[in-house]
Amino acid sequence: MTLRHFAIGCLCILLAGPAALVPAVALAQVTNDTCLDCHDDASMLSDRGHPVGIVAARFQASIHSDMDCTDCHSTPGDYEDVPHYTKYTPVDCSGCHDDAMASFKGSVHEDVLNDRDMTCTTCHTIHQHGRAEHEALDGCGDCHEDAATAYATSVHRAGRKQNGGAATCASCHGSHHVLAVADSTSAVNERNVPLLCGGCHAKEPPVTADYVRLPVVVPGYLESVHGKGWQEGKHAAVCTSCHGAHDSRLSTDPRSHINRQNVAETCGQCHDQIAVEYENSIHGSAVALGVEDAPTCNDCHSEHLIRGPHNLNGQVSAEHRAKELCGACHTDPEILSKYGIAGGVVESYLDSYHGWAVSRGASLVATCTDCHNVHEIRSTLDPASSVHDTNVAGTCARCHEGANDRFAQSYTHAGALEARGPHGWVRYVYLWLIAVVLGGMAIHNAVIARWELRRHLSHVRREPAVQRWRRAERLQHIVLLLSFTGLAVTGFALRFPESWWARLIQLDGHEIIRAYLHRAFGIIMTVTAIYHGVWLTVTRRGRWSLREMVPGFHDMRQAGENMAFHLGLRRTRPAFRAFDYTQKAEYWAVVWGTWVMALTGLILWYPTVATRWAPVWIVRVAEAIHFYEAILAVSAIAIWHFFFVIFLPAVYPMSTTWIDGRMPAGEWKEFHAGQYAQEGEAPIQSPAPGSEEKSQQN
């Protein structure tokens, strides 16, 4: 090499040196506006046909809008020329998203990511990845076409379109650490599906934006035979077994796995033999014909809270089968009329030995499914039916060994309802016999009782007596007796409408009449109570009675002495004065109860007025007090009052004081020795005038 050549080479190097430094300086000076001058064209392609254009508005709305283009595209090159560089270096997202890249380890996408068959932009939209979660079909569907197609028709996809709150692929499978379905730690593995779906479907309250309340499904599933089997680690149906994995659709969609037309097939995935039996049944045939009223699997077994037949709370249990399960349709007047189905079959069953025993909780007694079969229920006209004329004897023989055709004919729904047959005639004869015999007995005994009571009253009147009650007191007692009885009958008729005595006064079902009668009796009792208060205040007899009724410590002492006497621990009775502790307790209980019932009754009568000045709970509290105070009052009358005025041997068959106000002097001296010691013989009156003649006539 000559000196001349060396000099030319050095000159070239000196001239080329600054030019070589220009690209690096130019890259650092590149701004987003510089890039967008050319790349703000969505249709722009590179020389190799790769899309290199973007939409500036979308980029500015993306999650990366605050970044510079060169933060990601940092390959050295000549950015004033096209192409900018000779070899493209792919963007490395791990510079910022190292945690996301690390989560790919162990996922189903790890190998394809390492082989560059998949990159971040395979799923995430280039330059315009939004802050909100992306739509599933934009990324996953490019590879998972079948799943994406199924998801596109699902209820979740529809929910995304409506309000964006429904599940996407990432909601169930995860975003970067996507595991295979067979992996036991995967969220979509069979062992974890109920927990996965429960993340959304167990939320409370399940109410839509339109205020439609949806069923709470996960708690019911966990209590079901499927849920318990799943919790025990058994192979049991989970959410996707019935609803599908990606194509979960509304039950109204004909393509849905849980559509009425498809439910049997869905359940048949596990219960294949039962599905065949159901499809051959009258119910399965009706559903196949589009009869919406015909039951399918979930109508009888429920949707999520499916319990076994031996679970007493399950609707397919023997106790609930006739009344609530089969009876739901076979006692519905609209269904019976619509399809011309014979009525009364459930009633006839319940009015048989089988029905009575089942109502008592018997589990080894025939119910509907024991005769008609469980799933393969056929029409009685079908020769293959278990209750067809040619097969019914064999059906009965399942329980009744040796049953024949005549035995089978001895009980059918039609026979039990046939009023003109022997069964009907026997029923009517016995109803008349019961009415005549028992009615005759009642009339016979009423005549005797009347005579005996008159003789008893006459006997009492022949004896010297003490005037315990005067006319005003007896009238108050009679009004109290009538109003109290009326209140009890009309009040409890509301709470116990199915009781026999409530039906006797059903008043043709007119609740308004019952309500007005109840209020009328309440007014009468309240007015009587007010009158009684005035009588206690303004009359000498009333003031004396009030003083005698005031309880004291001596009443507690005498109560103990009275118990000791009747237990044989004391020789003599306590010396009670005008009123003993039993009478005082009852009197003040009546006073208390009357005003409690009056006050709560007014609140229930005028609830809108009461809630203007009282707390919101006042009406329900008044309702509870009114009911339980009524039970207490009626029970106290039956147990306490009736004992002392009817069943006490000393006054049996009845104390007549409430009729004429008189108490035999001997009884008065024995039971009110304290008053006798205080007043002596003065209160004792001679026998009532004419009592001797009346006694002789009786």
The predicted-structure confidence for 631-644, as pLDDT tens digits, reads as follows 999 999 999 999 99
The answer to whether the CB of 603 falls within 8 A of the CB of 622 is: yes
Alpha carbon distance 143, 169 (integer Å): 13
Alpha carbon distance 58, 241 (integer Å): 41
Q: Scanning the structure block, which residue is given the tokens 């007090």?
A: 625
Lowest average pLDDT, out of 42-46, 169-173, 187-191, 543-547, goes to 42-46
Give how far Cα 240 sits from Cα of 246, 248, 266, 325, 665, Å. Answer: 9, 8, 11, 27, 89
Domain parsing of the chain, residue ranges? 25-141, 462-697
Q: For the residues 615-629, what does the mean pLDDT come to?
A: 94
Alpha carbon distance 616, 337 (integer Å): 46
Q: What is the pLDDT of residues 99-111, one digit of tens each?
A: 888 888 888 888 8
Res 698: pLDDT: 42
Res 415: pLDDT: 57
pLDDT band at 26 (very low <50, low <70, confident <90, very high): low
Q: How many CB atoms lie within 10 A of CB 510?
A: 10
In the chain, the percentage of residues whose pLDDT exceeds 70 is 90
- pLDDT of 155 > 80? The answer is yes
The answer to whether the CB of 97 falls within 8 A of the CB of 123 is: no
Q: For the residues 586-595, what does the mean pLDDT come to?
A: 96
pLDDT band at 74 (very low <50, low <70, confident <90, very high): confident
Alpha carbon distance 368, 391 (integer Å): 16
Give the chain's length: 698
The answer to whether the CB of 315 falls within 8 A of the CB of 325 is: yes
pLDDT band at 521 (very low <50, low <70, confident <90, very high): very high
Residue 653 β-bridge partners: none
431 versus 161: which is more confidently predicted? 431
Alpha carbon distance 494, 513 (integer Å): 12
Q: Name the token pair of 346.
A: 């459930």
Radius of gyration of the chain (CA): 46
Res 684: pLDDT: 86
- 47, exposed or middle or buried, with CB in 10 Å at 0-12, 13-18, 19+? exposed
Indicate the helix (H) or strand (E) that contains 466: strand 465-467
Helix (H, G, I), strand (E, B) or coil at 45: strand
Q: For the residues 457-463, what does the mean pLDDT come to?
A: 80
The answer to whether the CB of 127 falls within 8 A of the CB of 64 is: yes
Res 64: pLDDT: 85
Alpha carbon distance 627, 624 (integer Å): 5
Q: Name the token pair of 698.
A: 């009786």
507 versus 663: which is more confidently predicted? 663
Alpha carbon distance 280, 289 (integer Å): 13
Give how far Cα 7 sits from Cα of 1, 14, 16, 19, 639, Å. Answer: 10, 11, 14, 19, 135
Res 610: pLDDT: 92
666 versus 692: which is more confidently predicted? 666
Q: What is the pLDDT of residues 253-303, one digit of tens each?
A: 999 999 999 999 999 999 999 999 999 999 999 999 999 999 999 999 999
- pLDDT of 500 > 90? The answer is no
188 versus 35: which is more confidently predicted? 188
pTM, to two decimals? 0.69
What does the buried/exposed string (b/e) look like for 129-165 if buried means 16 or more CB atoms within 10 Å of the residue's CB? Answer: beeeebbbbebbbeebeebbebbeebbbbeebeeeee
432 versus 66: which is more confidently predicted? 432
pLDDT band at 129 (very low <50, low <70, confident <90, very high): low
The answer to whether the CB of 75 falls within 8 A of the CB of 89 is: yes
Alpha carbon distance 243, 280 (integer Å): 24
Highest mean pLDDT among 54-63, 117-126, 166-175: 166-175
- pLDDT of 17 > 60? The answer is no
| Mean pLDDT estimate for the chain | 85
- pLDDT of 130 > 80? The answer is no
Task: Tell whether the torsion through CA atoms of 401, 402, 404 and 407 is positive or negative.
Answer: negative
pLDDT band at 207 (very low <50, low <70, confident <90, very high): confident
Q: For the residues 610-635, what does the mean pLDDT come to?
A: 94
Q: For the residues 577-592, what does the mean pLDDT come to?
A: 95
**What class has domain 462-697?**
mainly alpha
Res 507: pLDDT: 63
Res 479: pLDDT: 97
Q: What is the pLDDT of residues 242-256, one digit of tens each?
A: 999 999 999 999 999
Residue 664 β-bridge partners: 465
Res 508: pLDDT: 58
Res 688: pLDDT: 60
- pLDDT of 691 > 60? The answer is no
Q: What is the pLDDT of residues 306-362, one digit of tens each?
A: 999 888 888 898 888 888 899 999 999 999 999 998 888 898 888 888 888 888 877
Of 210, 179, 204, the closest CA to residue 192 belongs to 179
Res 6: pLDDT: 52
The answer to whether the CB of 534 falls within 8 A of the CB of 486 is: no
What does the buried/exposed string (b/e) look like for 215-225 if buried means 16 or more CB atoms within 10 Å of the residue's CB? Answer: ebbbebbbbbb
Lowest average pLDDT, out of 237-241, 333-337, 409-413, goes to 409-413
Q: How many CB atoms lie within 10 A of CB 471?
A: 9
